[in-house]
Structure formats: structure tokens, C-alpha cells
Amino acid sequence: MQLDFQKMHGLGNDFAVFDCRNRSFEFTSDQIKRLSDRNRGIGFDQMLVIENPPNDNFDFLYRIFNADGSEVEHCGNGARCFAKYLRDKGIFNFQRPVRVAIKKGYIEIDYVGKDANGEDIFRVDMGQVDFSPFTHKQNSALEERIDCGAFGVFSFGILSIGNPHAVCVVEDVNTAYVNEIGGFLQNHPLFPEKVNVGFMQLCGRDRIKLRVFERGCGETKACGTGACAATAVGIARGLLDRCVTVELAGGNVMVEWNGTEFAKITMNGRASTVYAGKIDNSFLQTTDK
């Protein structure tokens, strides 16, 4: 038996997409890790899975698994690729935004059109910006100071965009200790579910540069929820305007937020298809040992 998949990326953040509407999802954590291996498998940051909706309020269920096999709540770049898959395959016509159930809540995605290079652009309603888990301590959501051991004490904005984020402002993203500090914080008691760590360089009130260490993946070329989290922290601190271009290693996205906690935040960006392929079932049944 062979399994069809499609390799896609959103600004270099890459995915393997599986349509499981007509078959049960049976991948184990170990199998996902094997598939994500860039030397022995497909190679991807996340696996995206399309399933039938849980009820009539939604069009689809969208699940995300990191390269380490763990299931996560949200992925903005993946959401755009998910939508492009639906459009390219003729599964959804985008005469209206698609309404998608995710692990925690739901999102809506709309097709915007093509950019100057002919790439498809999608707008994702990323859900609510939530600083509330940390509001029991004064200003902690925006100014949580964390001792990062040998790297010093840093001030982080801590919030949820469906998944947990910690964002710090740095002078230069090129010299930031992204992997070192990002890896260190995965075992910090403040983050029992681990955390995506963003390093934001301010380039004006409408533009930032950003690098993100993603839990379960490490640093990626782009992170959609990370772009939204960094923008929200910057706006909440009065450092940014409500519409911000976020420069990531893989390209740019546009993020908008009105600055009100629990208000929805939106992101526009590209999605690209790389190739389609098949996995032989025997690959999943063997090991490298």
C-alpha cells in the first residue's frame, strides 16, 4: 500500500500534507519522526493532516504534528499551505473563507489572490491574542524577566496565539542566541507545554525582523504564529502600529491587530507547492536500528 502526500512550504517553513478524510490517521510518533528526517525520510518541520470536521459548524479538521512527533495547537504558515492544498485540489472553492477546526478552537482562511511573482496569497484569521494566563502578576505578560543561565536575564512578552510564545526584543537578530536560549527555555518551569521563542528586531513602527525557535522543531525559516506573537507584543508595548510587515528568513508576512486583548489577529502571506509523492507502507513498518 502507498500513501499520497504533498510537500509544501510557507516562506521556507516546510510541511508534508496528508489528506485523511477517507482513511483513518494512524501515524505513530516514531513514524512521524522517521518521515520528518531530512536524510532518510521526506524531511519537514511539520506534518499537516486534513480530516473530516467534528460537526456542521466547520468545513474541515486541521491537525499539526511537529517533527518530533508531538501534536501542537496551531501553525500559521501551515494554515496557508493547508488552504492552498484545498484550492489546488478543488476540494474547496473559496467563494467564502474556509472555517477550520484546530486542536484548540478554530481559524478561518481566505484566498486573497496572487502576488507579483504569481504566488498564491492567503489571509488567515489566526484567532485571539491572549495574555491572560499571566495577568495574575503585574505586567508579567509583557515584561516577564527570565534568567537564561549563562546567557543572562532577558525580558519576554508571554502570550498565546493558540499555542504558547515568549518574545524578546533584541538589537540584531543576526547575533541573537536563538538556538541556545530557545533550547534552554523548553525545560523552564514557566512553560510546562514548552514554548515557541521569538527574537524580534525593531526596524520602524511598521516593520520588524524576526527569528523563531519552535518547540519540537528548532529554528525554522518562518513561523506564522511567531510573527503574530511578536507583532502583538510590540503593539501592546506601544512600539509598533497596528499593521506590521514581519521579515523572516524565508520571506515576509503582513500582520494586523487592533491592540485589544482577546481581539483576533490576521496574517497575510504566500503558500507554495513543491512536489507530490507517495510513501511505501513498508517504510513505516521498518526501523533504522
pLDDT in tens, 209-218: 999 999 999 9
User: Could you tell me which residues are beta bridge partners of residue 141?
Assistant: none
Concatenate the DSSP letters of all residues of 94-137 into one string: -SS-EEEE-SSSEEEEEEEEE-TTS-EEEEEEEEE-B-GGGTTS
CB 15 within 8 A of CB 7: yes
Among candidates 195, 205, 194, 126, which has minimal Cα distance to 167? 195
Q: Is the pLDDT of residue 2 over 80?
A: no
**DSSP for residue 91:** S
Backbone angles phi, psi at 14, to 5 degrees: -105, 155
Maximum Cα interatomic distance, the chain, rounded to a whole number of Å: 57
Q: Is the pLDDT of residue 289 over 80?
A: no
Provide mean pLDDT across the span 201-216.
Answer: 97
Using CA atoms, how far apart are residues 164 and 223, in angstroms rounded to an integer? 13
pTM as predicted: 0.88
The pLDDT of residue 286:
67
Using CA atoms, how far apart are residues 215 and 218, in angstroms rounded to an integer? 6
* Catalytic residue check, 223: yes
H or E stretch at 83: helix 76-88
The pLDDT of residue 281:
76
The pLDDT of residue 136:
43
- Write down all domains in the chain, each with its CATH number in brackets: 2-127+272-285 (3.10.310.10), 132-267 (3.10.310.10)
Provide mean pLDDT across the span 43-55.
Answer: 97
pLDDT digits (tens, 9 = 90+) for 54-99: 999 999 999 999 999 999 999 999 999 999 999 999 999 999 999 9
The pLDDT of residue 131:
86
pLDDT digits (tens, 9 = 90+) for 90-135: 999 999 999 999 998 899 999 999 999 899 999 999 988 988 765 4
pLDDT digits (tens, 9 = 90+) for 228-265: 999 999 999 999 999 999 999 999 999 999 998 778 89
Which member of 148, 223, 228, 243 is catalytic? Answer: 223
Which member of 75, 168, 217, 228 is catalytic? Answer: 75
pLDDT digits (tens, 9 = 90+) for 174-196: 999 999 999 999 999 999 999 99
The pLDDT of residue 137:
47
The pLDDT of residue 288:
55
Q: Is the pLDDT of residue 267 over 60?
A: yes
- In the block, cell 506601544 appears at 238
Q: Mapping DSSP to helix (H, G, I), strand (E, B) and coil, where does residue 192 land?
A: coil
The pLDDT of residue 280:
85
- pLDDT over 90 for what percent of the chain? 82
Using CA atoms, how far apart are residues 266 and 124, in angstroms rounded to an integer? 6
The pLDDT of residue 246:
98
The pLDDT of residue 287:
64
